[in-house]
Amino acid sequence: MTVIFWIIKVLTTGMGESASDWLLNRGAGVAGLGIVGSLGIDIGIFVVALVLQFSVSRYVPWVYWFAVVAVSLFGTIAADIAFFIGVPLWASSTFYACALAANFTVWYLSEKTLSIHSIYTRRRETFYWITVFLTFALGTALGDLTASTWKLGFLVSGIMFAVLIAVPAIAHWRFGMNAIVAFWFAYVVTRPLGASFADWFGASRAQTGLGLGAGWVALVLTIMIVGFVGYLAASQRGRAQEANVT
């Protein structure tokens, strides 16, 4: 996987966290939506994005990353609502971890592989997007667990997950960790990594943040995502044109 892929992935996790926080805490109040209305908006975006993704037969950068952002929003709010209704973060983290393990098990038993390079059927793509959703929900719960329940704060949590995400990279590079295991290990950790730093920038100082505001953080991250995805789309068009010439 390219460096740009991982950069965009981390940016989408932070953007999803900040946008969901803004929508639940400020946007919902301004628009009079409430939690149910906010959830409805996220579900609507989620459905539209996946319909677009499943309607194309190849990788299209704008469509794919729109789907990732939509899943980030939906996965974040799904985990947050569980906390709002009284489910402890350790319980939701455990639930989503078990659900992710069960999905991987069914996926592997059904398809005999978990490699993203083998996703060329609708069933495998369905398994993939279920996995992506569960990684976002699990990462949200884990990030909040370390920052709030364990009282580490957002910055320390972010640093901890930054160290943790280096584990699969080093293990694959130096010790021969299976590439598929290393990929999914890193994929899960990107969620609390990006969300912890986004919360650190956006949350109030009383919440161990810098107080920049979730809305502004979400806006800046969105602009950065659009820039990187635009670069990928332009690169893809350039390669296609070169292939046609040759």
Q: 245 lies in a domain? A: no
* Structural domain includes residue 229: yes
- The reported pLDDT for the residue numbered 240 is 62
Q: Three-state secondary structure along 48-109?
A: HHHHHHHHCCCCCHHHHHHHHHHHHHHHHHHHHHHHHCCCCHHHHHHHHHHHHHHHHHHHHH
Residue 246 placed within a domain: no
Domain annotation covers residue 195 = yes
Instruction: Check whether 26 has a pLDDT greater than 80.
Output: no
Q: pLDDT class for 31, splitting at 50, 70, 90?
A: very low
The residue segments making up the domain with residue 73 are: 3-237
Please report whether residue 31 resides in a domain.
yes
Q: Residue 81 falls within a domain, yes or no?
A: yes
The number of folded domains in the chain is 1
Per the domain annotation, does 243 fall within a domain? no
Q: Provide the whole-model pTM.
A: 0.87
Q: Is residue 244 included in any domain, yes or no?
A: no
Tens digit of each residue's pLDDT (9 = 90 or more) over 163-210: 999 999 899 988 889 999 999 999 989 989 998 999 999 988 888 889
